[in-house]
Amino acid sequence: MGNKRRNSVLKFTIKMQKKLLVLFLFILVAFMGLSARLFLINRDNGEEYKKQVLSHQEYDSAIIPFKRGEIVDSNGTVLAVSNKVYNVILDTRLLLRKEEYLEPTLNALKRFFDIDPEPVRAYIAGHPNSAYYVMAKRVEYEKKIAFEEFCDDEELGANIKGVWFEDEYKREYPNGSLACDLIGFTTGDNAGTYGLEEYYNDILSGVNGREYGYLNDDSTLERTTIAARDGNNIQLSLDANIQTIVEKYLKEFNEEYKDNARPGNGAENIGCVIMDPNTASVLAMASYPVFDLNDVRNTENLVGMPLLDKDGKRVRTDGVAEYVTQESIAGMNDEVMYQHLNALWKNFCIVDAYEPGSVFKPFTVAAALESGAITGNETYNCEGKLHVGDYDIKCHQTFGDGPLTVQQGVERSCNVVLMNVAFALGKAEFVNYQHAFNFGLKTNIDLAGEARTASMIYHADNIAITDLATNSFGQTFNATMIQMITGFCSLINGGYYYAPHVASRITTADGATIENIEPRLLKQTISRSTSDKIIEYCNTVVSGENGTGHTARPAGYMIGGKTGTAETLPRKNREYVVSFMGYAPADDPQVVIYVVVDRPNVVHQDDAKYATRIVKKILTEVLPYMNIFMTEELSDAEREELEQLQIQIRTPQGTEPEEELDEEGNPIPKEGGEGGSEGGEGDVPTEGGTEGSEEEPTGPNEVWKDFPLDPETGYLVDPSTGDFYDPQIGTRVGIGNSSDEESGDGSGGEWSLPAPPGTGEETE
């Protein structure tokens, strides 16, 4: 019995083995056949199937773009925003399913999006299996809706197939060129370049989302969406209303002096910065020329700018600078065009370094007072020049002012006084204070592109006595506008140096505050007592009998400040940078303004009034807007001027001053007052006076009063030298026919100023 069962199991096992062998051989043959079939499919149709798979993946997986954050001013006015637009996409597979779909679809594309049908036909013919062809980019929402409504019409849109839309965002600037240098713009890939757009690119940028499509077990298309994360918004300290006022008057200056003494703009550059001195918050920052942020490559804005070569250097013919014309634009290659566009896009207020001139004089005086080198009670004798080393360095009052106190030296902008103050301070201390005021260092303002100037100032081991002399009145070293105004704020706010900034708050797309950007106090440069003394001195520049800044004072206000005139490189070119640094109110500074006019387009450029008049016009509108009330009595001329400008007259009580009435109840006209609209500028030549006020000085030597008047220019002419002199104040302007070399602020004469350290042929 046992042997029989054992034989049965053995027979079953052998039988099963045979069946398994047959099954294995059958499966092996099937796999070999399938492999052969797959090989043949891949060989004959592999590329076609590959395209179909890739096409399906593109169609069913799409990027969801993020929305770049907004930039708004201090009042919430939108300066930069990203609006949704749409790319028009074609799926040729769907379009070619039926022949009757083609023409209606192409006609609709032409009608609603102005898409040329012929390139689309050519693409369809060459790519019949494509699911993703971009026919138009950044189509507005209104056009998209109109197309979709047309397609939804059962009769008209029944045969329109294969068209779909891809979301995208377009960066737009609602105010065009407003604050263009400060804001910057974005490139085609949504990356910020220049200004705030570049500096805060990581904050303004978000993260793209994604939508995935896949087939489930039932072969049904399923979608998974990862939402995009939008960028954060930035609110600025800048006020768009103040910015608009500033830009209006910079443009007005350009229009007035355009093509005046030479072809080109009203000046090489014009810049203005307005700042809160107690926080270093930027309220306005502008330069000219400007460009439209929505059309940054418009070459019309280049006309009138200095002509550059492929390396960005000035083009001069026989020593004379050339300027961009429509003809020169037509001949530019891509490399040269980029140099000019880059010059247009840069922010003059933070990028360009120049010799600041006499605006620097309060820094020299402050350093000497703070260090104890002087008390402020000293008197220095100005004979029109000072012998330093081997040279005679002249003052702008070439006939001398006689004995002057330190305050009078600032009021009259006397180079001789300032050189003596610097000598009392000494080279080492002078350099230390220059660095304390941050000259040679970046301010680290929150804007892209700030210039480095470390190589453009002297150090204790390389400053000579003549360098100290000329540095004392702001020549032979370079600075930027942002360095000058930030340092000057510390001179008049008690000595506190704050980091300048434009952004004040960062918020989410929903408006929740992420960060409040508070003012950052970096150091104290001088004491409160020294600061008060500098305010006292600078007030006399505008209010003093011999002050050089009378024409900067807006009607109804008393302000303080300092004028500046500096010769540019190369020397002897009769080209100057003129400027005015001012603040208001004079007794309690709440706002600081700095205007720089780089080589005004006039015959005699060494006249700070080209800057002071801009300051006056800007402050006339800005101060009432900021609720800073008038403190000075208005003359009839000033009242009429304000009425013409439609400026609200505000007294400390916010009301009009009471008028005296005669017996019949009519207003009695007031006599006198604090000067007219331009301080009597109509009686003096429009191009006269180095930093001069339009008031007559009380200097001891007034031999210039006997000089003959040149009827062609309106200036007095020194018979012995041919130099021109302002008939009102006796300061030398231009060079006339003299062979003497001018040295900023009229400080030259028997020598030529050296170039600042680290500079080349031009101070650009």
Instruction: State how many domains the chain has.
Output: 3
pLDDT in the model for residue 643: 83
505-527 pLDDT, tens digit per residue, is: 999 988 899 999 999 999 999 99
pLDDT in the model for residue 651: 57
pLDDT at 642 over 60: yes
Does 587 fall in a domain?
A: yes
648-663 pLDDT, tens digit per residue, is: 656 554 444 444 444 4
680-714 pLDDT, tens digit per residue, is: 333 222 233 345 433 333 445 667 677 787 777 77
pLDDT in the model for residue 320: 84
* Whether residue 657 sits in one domain with residue 628: yes
pTM of the predicted model as reported, rounded to 2 decimal places = 0.81
* Phi and psi torsions of 584, nearest 5°: -150, 150
* Whether residue 690 sits in one domain with residue 550: yes
Q: Which domain holds residue 224?
A: 64-236
Biggest distance spanned by C-alpha atoms of the chain: 156
pLDDT in the model for residue 501: 97
pLDDT at 338 over 90: yes
Residue 410's domain is classified under what CATH number? 3.40.710.10
Does 263 fall in a domain?
A: no
Residue 162's domain is classified under what CATH number? 3.90.1310.10
pLDDT in the model for residue 650: 60
Q: Which of 638, 612, 653 is nearest to 556 (CA)?
A: 638
* Whether residue 320 sits in one domain with residue 196: no
Does 420 fall in a domain?
A: yes
Does 748 fall in a domain?
A: no
pLDDT at 584 over 80: yes
* Whether residue 422 sits in one domain with residue 335: no
The type of residue at 762 is E
pLDDT in the model for residue 658: 44
Average pLDDT, the chain: 84
Q: Do the beta carbons of residue 727 and residue 738 sit within 8 Å?
A: no
What average pLDDT score do residues 366-385 get? Answer: 95
Does 752 fall in a domain?
A: no
Token representation of residue 658: 């009471």
pLDDT in the model for residue 221: 55
What DSSP line would sit under 518-543, residue for residue?
Answer: ---EEEE-S-HHHHHHHHHHHHHHHH
* Whether residue 215 sits in one domain with residue 125: yes
- Please tell me whether residue 165 adopts helix, strand or coil conformation: strand
Instruction: State how far the Cα of 39 lies from the Cα of 44, in Å rounded to an integer.
Output: 9
* Whether residue 363 sits in one domain with residue 226: no
pLDDT in the model for residue 523: 96
Token representation of residue 293: 């942020």
Under the banding of pLDDT at 50, 70 and 90, the label for residue 739 is very low
pLDDT at 119 over 80: yes
pLDDT at 414 over 50: yes
pLDDT at 100 over 50: yes
Instruction: State how far the Cα of 363 lies from the Cα of 435, in Å rounded to an integer.
Output: 11
Q: Do the beta carbons of residue 704 and residue 720 sit within 8 Å?
A: no
Does 268 fall in a domain?
A: no
Which residues, including other chains, have CB under 8 Å from residue 739's CB and lie 6 or more apart? Answer: none
Which residues, including other chains, have CB under 8 Å from residue 28's CB and lie 6 or more apart? Answer: none
What average pLDDT score do residues 621-634 get? Answer: 93
* Whether residue 134 sits in one domain with residue 88: yes
What average pLDDT score do residues 243-272 get? Answer: 95
* Whether residue 384 sits in one domain with residue 300: no
Per-residue b or e along 96-132, where b marks 16 or more CB atoms closer than 10 Å to that residue's CB: eeeeebbebbbebbeebbebeeeebeeebeebeebbb
* Whether residue 389 sits in one domain with residue 318: no
* Whether residue 728 sits in one domain with residue 579: yes
Q: Select, from the ranges 53-67, 204-218, 220-234, 690-704, the one with the highest average predicted confidence (pLDDT).
A: 220-234
* Whether residue 676 sits in one domain with residue 540: yes
pLDDT in the model for residue 760: 52
Q: Select, from the ranges 63-67, 321-325, 367-371, the one with the highest average predicted confidence (pLDDT).
A: 367-371
Q: Select, from the ranges 104-118, 561-575, 577-591, 631-645, the one with the highest average predicted confidence (pLDDT).
A: 577-591
Instruction: State how far the Cα of 495 lies from the Cα of 221, in Å rounded to an integer.
Output: 69
* Whether residue 459 sits in one domain with residue 500: yes
Q: Do the beta carbons of residue 288 and residue 265 sit within 8 Å?
A: yes
Catalogue the long-range contacts made by 436-439 (C-beta closer than 8 Å, 24 or more residues apart).
Answer: 436/367, 436/523, 436/525, 437/363, 437/487, 437/490, 437/497, 437/525, 438/483, 438/486, 438/487, 438/497, 439/477, 439/479, 439/483, 439/487
pLDDT in the model for residue 2: 54
Under the banding of pLDDT at 50, 70 and 90, the label for residue 30 is confident
420-463 pLDDT, tens digit per residue, is: 999 999 999 999 999 999 999 999 999 999 999 998 999 989 99
Q: Do the beta carbons of residue 468 and residue 427 sit within 8 Å?
A: yes
Greater confidence, 19 or 77?
A: 77
Does 57 fall in a domain?
A: no
pLDDT in the model for residue 448: 96
Instruction: State how far the Cα of 149 lies from the Cα of 151, in Å rounded to an integer.
Output: 5
Under the banding of pLDDT at 50, 70 and 90, the label for residue 99 is confident
pLDDT in the model for residue 94: 84
The DSSP call for residue 384 is S
Q: 235-244, 369-378, 544-553, 747-756: which range is least confident on average?
A: 747-756
Q: Do the beta carbons of residue 548 and residue 579 sit within 8 Å?
A: no
Q: Select, from the ranges 554-568, 686-700, 743-757, the one with the highest average predicted confidence (pLDDT).
A: 554-568
pLDDT at 626 over 70: yes
What average pLDDT score do residues 3-29 get? Answer: 69
Greater confidence, 559 or 99?
A: 559
What percent of the chain shows pLDDT beyond 90? Answer: 54
Q: Which of 536, 613, 572, 538 is nearest to 359 (CA)?
A: 538
pLDDT at 665 over 60: no
Under the banding of pLDDT at 50, 70 and 90, the label for residue 56 is very low
Instruction: State how far the Cα of 314 lies from the Cα of 570, in Å rounded to an integer.
Output: 12
